[in-house]
Every structure is written in C-alpha cells, then in structure tokens.
Structure 1
Amino acid sequence: MDRVPEVAVIGAGIVGLCTAYALAERGTTARVYERGLPGHGQSSGQSRIFRHAHDDARLVEFTRQGRAVWDEWADRLGAELISQDGVVALGGTVPGRLRTLRDVGGMTVRSLDSAEVHAHMPLLADYSGPAMLDEDGGAIRTRVAVERLAAALGDSVVTEEVISLRPTGHGTVEVRSTAGREEYATVVVCAGLGTARLARDVGLSLPVQPAAHVRLTFQVRGAPPERVACLQDSSGDFGEVGVYAAPYPGNSRYAVGLSQTVEIREDGSFADPEALAALNDRARDYVARALPGLDPEPVEYLHCWVTSLPWSEDGMAVWEADGIFFAAGHNLFKQAPRLGRALAGAALAEGLEDDLRPAAELGRSG
C-alpha cells in the first residue's frame, strides 16, 4: 500500500478483523498486523456458541445488539455466520438467567421440559432439570466468518509481528514490526495473549489472566440430526458444571469444551504440565456420560491460549492510553462485530462507550 492508513489494528483474530471491517464500512482503511494466519490464535476452531445468556444485564443487551450486526454482515458477506438451531442451557443458573433475558427483552427465550430438551438436543442423555432455549442463539461459523472478513479486507492484512508501540509526542503512535516502522493517528490492539505485553509499552498493566483451553471434537453416531442446538451445561448432572458445546456445519461433528482452563506462568510455561491432559480426559468422560449420540473417541483436539479478566469469565474491557486502545476479555467471538464497531468509533475519536471502560467491569454478575 502506498499511503499509510490512519489506523493500525494489531491482531487479525475475530475482534481485530471485525474492528478493521467496521472501520472500512465507515470509509476508513486500517492496516491489520498479524504474525501468523488470520483467526488461528484465540479465534481458532470451526465453531463457537452465540448465546445471549449472561449474568450481567448490560452484557445481555450488548450481545443482543451484536446479534443484529452478525445478521447484517451475514447478508453483506453472503454467508451464514450463525446457525438457526438455538442454544439449550441446563442447570441451576437457568431460572436467574431466564429472568435477566426477559427483563432485557428483544430475544426469544423460554424454559424447556425434558421432552423439549431431547427434541432440541437429540445427542443428549436423559435430563429432567432446569433448562431453557435461546432461540436466537446458535453456532457461529468461525472459519467462514474469519475467511470472509479477511477476504473483504484484502491486502489491508499484513503478515508482520508487532514488536513495540510508542507514542511519538506529536499526536501519532509509532508501530515497530518485524518489517519496519510506521506512524498512525490511532492504534487498536486486539492481540490476545500479546495485548498485555504491548500495553506495558505505554505504562499500562492489564489484569488479564492468561491460560490454556481445551476443546475436543467428536463424531456424531449414525446419520447427523437435521437440527441440533448448541449446549451450555452447568447442571453437574453429568459430572461437570461448566460445559460448552456446538455443532460443526452439517451437524456430523460436535465440539465440546470445559469452562475450566489451565494456568500458565509469566514465562508462558504451565504451572501443572499434566493439567492439559487431565482436561482432555475429563471432556472425554463427560461426552461418554452426557452425549451418547457421539462417539466418545475424539476426532480433533484444539488447544489454544485464552485471556480472561478477574471479575468474570465473560468479562470484557477496553483500556485507552495515548491514542491506543487495548481490548481484552474471554468469550469475545460472539461479541466481536458489536465490539468491533465500538472500537472503530473510538478510533475515529467518537469516544469509548462507558460500559467498555475497565471501571464498568462489564460482565460482572450480581
């Protein structure tokens, strides 16, 4: 590119891609720095859950608005980005979250009896506890979303690792990468595990907690069901209290992950080297008990880094310093288009939304 864009976006995961795309729809070209392939860090995998259910009503509303952006972009990009099969949630958190969803409004949610649970989740073993259906939820087609957004951005995405950021003192930010240096009016950092490191360049200490996550994929036994919902299981009835699962396109495979993660040290090593293997075993055991519609032998293993904030596993926030915005949080794939538009607005000097500031602790329960 001959002319240096006004905005740099660091990281071509789903949040970075959505931020750059949101800037482009407003006529501003961003340069997106990514050291590897777009969407192969924290955004990796074939499927994620889009769910409205959260403990914080503000985050429920943010997510509701985000679903509208997903639908708008699906039409523009010419692809299904979220399936139409809904999300089934199980466990004691259901009544409270159902009340929150209904209080916020604008979503189709309802409680389910055991027969309805089986109708929407034919892969699941018998279950008779609290359950609900989020009809407007579904499986995010993660690979399709990343590929369509990256294609739309074209050569705005460059394969360069950013080494450091430095405010110049005359209203710009210097970005030093493996390929050189450039100056930008604004920088948005969505670099996953690398966000906290780059924030230290401008004196910010982000309270992100890095960890490793496990997600296994299993083959459906027999013919794939025509429809199968995503699953959020906090019941404990099948031996685990934090399980997320989503179908692949075509419903022949189902990805299952535990909400537990494995702690890593400051240098990136594991505090307990055996913990990752233990999570693999627990996920397999859960499938054997809870999902008899799946072959219990995994066909794929996904291990990836995650970054969470101390007030909630669904927490998210954006820090601002010297013309640079740092976005951090966990479970951000479903929020990415709405968050991307908010970051684009902030980068264009429209101000950062109050709920995204760290003091708001967006996602906190209670």
Structure 2
Amino acid sequence: MGLAAGILIGLGVGLVCALLLLWQSHRRFKRELQRLVSLVNSPLAPHSPEEMLSLLSRQLRQQQLDWVSQNQQLQDWQYLSQRLPWGYLRVDENNVVLDCNPVAQRLLRINQWQPGIKLLLEWVRSYELDQLIEATRQQQADSPTQSREWIFYPSGGDGKPIPLRAWGLPLPRSHVAIFLEDRLEAKMLTQQRDRWASDVAHELKTPLTSIRLLAETLQSRVDSAQAVWVDRLLNETLRLIRLVEDLLELSALNLGAGSQLQLHSVDLAVLVREAWQSLEPLAKPRQQELHLTGTKQACLWGDEQRLYRLILNLLDNAIKYGKPGSPVHVVLAEAGSEVGLEVYDHGPGLAADQFESVFQPFYRTDTARARSKGGTGLGLAIVRQIVEAHGGTIQLSNHFQTGGLWIRVKLPQKRLDPL
C-alpha cells in the first residue's frame, strides 16, 4: 500500500509539475515569438534567410537552456520538500492543499494524500492551523513571521494528541506555505526538567525552613557585633526560600497545574489593592505610590490565588525597577468579554530585543542589579504561565510617556472549563 501510494504521489506531483512547466514554457515562447515579430518588423532587423535562421536558432537554444534550468530547480525543490525534517504544506487562495510532504502527512494524520483535490478543512480539522493561514495571508510585507504553538487532536480519535509549532509564509497569488515542527520531544524534555527542578525544590524547602528558624532564634541571643552576620544569614535564607517557592510554582504550572485552576468570581481591583498593601513596606522607602485608574471593578472567573501572585509579581517588578519618588501605574479595563490589566512605571524600560527573553526562567537583563534587588529571574516567567493558564495574553513594551516597562495583560471574563 505504501509503495502504491508513493508511486501515485510521484506521478501526481510529476504531472502537475510537467503541466506547470509546459504552461510557463508556452507563455515564454509566445513572448519570444512576439519579440521576433517585432524584430522582423524593425528597420534594423536582419532580412536575409540565413540571418533570420541564425537568430531563431539562438532564441530556441536559449529557450532550451531555460527549460533545463527550471526543470532542474523544480526537481531540486521536490527532492528537498520530500526530505525536509519539518512538515511542509502549501494552500492556494481558496485553501485547496497543493503540496503536503510526508512529514506533514504524518503529523496531521492525512491519509491517501493527493494534491489539489480537497480543501484543507477536508484533509485536517484544526482551528489553530486555519487561523495561522488566515493571519499569514493578511499580514503586511514588513510584519514578523506568523507562528502558532498548540496541541493537535486528530479527528475521530485517530492517534494521540501531539504538540505542534507552525510558521506561516505568504506567497504570491494569496498562496500560503506552512512549516510544521513536532514538539513532542521538546515537551518531554521540558517536563523532565520541571520534574527535576520540582524534586530539588521540595528537598531544599525543609532544610531552608530549619535554617530560617535557627537564624530567627539567634537574632535575639547574640550581641550587636554578631547580629549583623545573623541578619545577613537570615536575609540570604529568605532569598533562597523565595527562590524555592518560585521554582515550585513554575514547575507546577509547567506540569499541568494550570489545567486544574480553582475557578471563582474574582475582582482584579480588590487583588491589586491587597497586593499593594503587601508590598507597601518596599514602596515607602522609595517614596512610591500606587496610581490605580480605569474601571472600579474588573470581575472574571479565575484562580484567585494565582491571579494574586500574577499581580504581586508585576507590582514588585515595577517597584524594584521604577524611579524612586515616581508612582506605579495600574490601569483596569473591561472590553467586550475581556478584562485588561496594565502595569507600567517610570524606570529605564528594556531594549526591544529583550521583550521576549524576560519571560525565560532565570533571565536577567542586569545580573548584578537583579541580585542586589533580590530578584530570582522567575517572576515574569510565572506571570506568563498564569496568564496562559487562564487563556489570556500578555504583551511587553516601553510606555510611550514614562519610558518604563509597560505590561499589558488581557484575560477572558467567561468561566473556563478545565481540560
């Protein structure tokens, strides 16, 4: 069956390619013929039969060379597309699938593939893939490459779900090319890393708690000359405890705890005030105040504990890196079925190439500065995981007025059904 399918695929692709080349050659021959006619009618045209025959011979020879070159390029591309380690498919302006290499057929569970006979929706049902194609077709020329990452569930329960990442490239005549990557191995490695980090964090939590209790006991039993060392020990222990807690939270979110959210009706305005009260001891010495504007209530269905953690991390980041004596701005809004949360400060902001990198665990724009402020490099990584667990989006940029980091979060108001 596989051999027959391969023969049919080869014959189908070869026939389409041959027809395409013949069509292109026919158009080129007509152009060359028109050029010859115009040349004959020109005053400078050769009039002897020998000169005309020589000119026609050169034109035909060039046509033959062009045909051979194009045929070789087409064969090279067919060879590459069939042996790419990534999936590749191409759709026309009506979303009819014209190309689909073996890797794409395997990833998308496409059986008995034939080019140009069915719409993409008839071959495979994937909302994310459809959205990627449409977004790619409508993107501007200077826009970044469209991409998506999702879990693909084959229709009819045929096969296990598979994590995919796809990139879309716009082609002439509203055609779209899609490249697919199998993310299963990467996901498994990430889960192994998160389990390892979670196990280590659990093992560290108990001894660190003991060291903290011991340091707190020693604080009241040593003289002033030794107290500074005990205070330093306690501060470093607390920093390590915060790091362990962040590791446990990030690992839990990465390992699927986000799909087990404890959903309740939550007012983000209340959580912002509560989080600011917790951080006020850090803000007062820096003479920073909270400027909360926008809607007075911003209610949605969400996990209250994790949304509180999200807001706490954003405010903590704004306090640490904002300018002393300047406010921390929070804007709440309700638009349609979404709740918007914006946090920005008057700090130095970030370079544009760091907007995505700061979401990576342990990434620091300035290592010395981050450590001096007690940062663990996990705050924004946790924020993004919480946002995505709630089905929301997050964007970073520098604020157009203050110049500080501007974080915009959008969360759906509707109740989410846990997977």
TM over 0.5: no
TM-score by length of structure 2 reads 0.18
- Alignment TM-score, normalising by the size of structure 1: 0.20
Q: Which has the higher strand share?
A: 1
* Structure with the higher fraction of residues in helix conformation: 2
